[in-house]
Structure 1
Amino acid sequence: MAREAKVAYLPFLAPIKRELEEVEKVILEKISLTYQPLAENVTQLIRGGGKRLRPALAILASKFHPADRGKVILLAASIEMLHTATLIHDDLIDNASSRRGLPTLNSMWPSAAVVLAGDHILAGAASLAARTGSPRVVRIIAETLQIICDGEIRQIFGAYGWPQDIKDYYYRIYAKTASLFAAATEAGGVLSKAPEGEIQALRKYGEYLGTAFQIVDDVLDFTGKEEEMGKPTGSDLRQGIVTLPVFYFMEDYNDSKLLLKALNARGEERGEAIATLVELIRNSQAIKLSLDKAREFVIRAKEALSIFPDNQYRRIMLELADFVIERKI
């Protein structure tokens, strides 16, 4: 039986918890699917866990200058709905059976219904962005969705191959994760009418933070506990995806036969190769090197905030950067 998950707000986000709860309400009100059984599953997915980091970033980024609270809530809800829609589509593409310990939509519903449910949520995100009254915010949301889709296409056609260019890896994680973090912080700055230099600093913070977040996510795919992660270790390898720990591991492990088996063999042989490779990488320097790289991006994220005053929201953003490195899930 799947565990019941719920949103887990981080303690240091307490100063904006009420706003995050308003975001949740806006999202749930925006889901207007009329086929009730599917609507219930979509609602369960939205309520089913996560930390709401992306809407939190939009809210925090708006705090350095006066901003219309209602418009910021709409932006934050739009960001989270876009994120949720991409997760629905990702799970379908990956044929994933669970996320955060809950069944995925594609494990319960036909593919056509899942695609349309994801599209419905994307349309809701666009509608909320439009209600902010900011053409720039709408453009940021639209362009970010294009980037996410392009990254997913690149990942599909780059899967199962070796050798790969590490530059392609960094583009993929920018497209997959960092672009939405950057959109959240940039758009939050836009709604606060911050000077352009500050808006760009906020965007850089989001981009660097998102890059670090995804690198840590890729590390946890080797080191995390399945019951906490809600998915088996080595999930990326099972999808034919090569991540930073693999790149670092292969710098010292000169024989690519095991990796090629993990990517391309079939049946039991492939499963054994993945299990062996996961164990080797978990106990190698590749994990430390990957985390060191994530820390470099966290440092750059913090440096981007140096132009802002030392207030509680800047301190929360600095603490959030530390959390990204320290998290276990």
Structure 2
Amino acid sequence: MKKKNVVLEQIRKYKWGYLFGIILVAMDAIVTYIYPQLITNILDKAVLAKDPGAVITNVAYMAICQLVSITVALALSYLFCKMSNGFIVKIKLLLIQAMFQVDGKEIEKKSNLFMTSMNADVNNIEMLSSRMLSDLLIQIVTVIITAVILIQINPVIFWFMLLIYPILIAIQIFFNKKIMSQSRKVMGKMDVGNGLIKEFVSNLYEYLALNGRNYYIDKFCRNETSLRNEILKQNMLMAYNRSVPQLISTTTFLIVLAISGVMVINGQVQFGELTVIIMYTQRMFNPLSSIMLVIGQFQKAKVSMDRINEIVG
């Protein structure tokens, strides 16, 4: 029988909120699609026609697009944070209630897990759900709309960029596996650390009476040093997960810039289209770095969900 996922059950209760979030993202998608057309209208039409009225009109529309985009981002941030606050409180209550039902033989093991879950595990889920998920939706839509725009302007450039994506995905899969494995190690060390802290508080008088200070400090420091080393490895994996794709995307952008420049010289691409290509090539790769960062955080959150389900499920 498949074990239920208590965390996901709590998140599903906010499905209408997520639906509203999708509507907001759709609004952002529309203005993202319109924006480059306004740029080309200014550079390739209004400027060449020496029509200041058309320039001002298009700039005004661009300002409206920016305002809508900013408003959507703020609304999504508030919405997801509000929903996150709701189910995070419920998850903590479920953890507390579950601890009252723990079998006596498992109290010591579960209590260490409980202490870490109430802090680090819940924080991992909260960071993903309240701070990163709204950005992820916008970034995904940005990549899709940008791809559509680039296809319309110059399919050659789009297909060249698309060839890079499998490489980036392969890198992502590799690092995600590493991050998930490392997250489990970090959380395990945190459990041990919480157990040592609880042991210290419970047996403080005994340590004082038996002059056990050096014994405890040595034991605590060994685990703490090991924990910090594992955290360092985890952070470096996440840093590599950002830096390697960034290096690839930057190299790709420079190649696209060179190709586009030659196309302008040869009359294959207009100047306004070149401006859009430069802007949206970066917009196609920059969100990818953010998406990869969120996916890395998702791996940590998934480990935390499993640990919470171990207590509550």
TM-score (norm 1): 0.30
Point out which structure has higher relative CO (alpha carbons under 8 A, 6+ apart): 2
Q: Which one has a bigger Cα radius of gyration?
A: 2
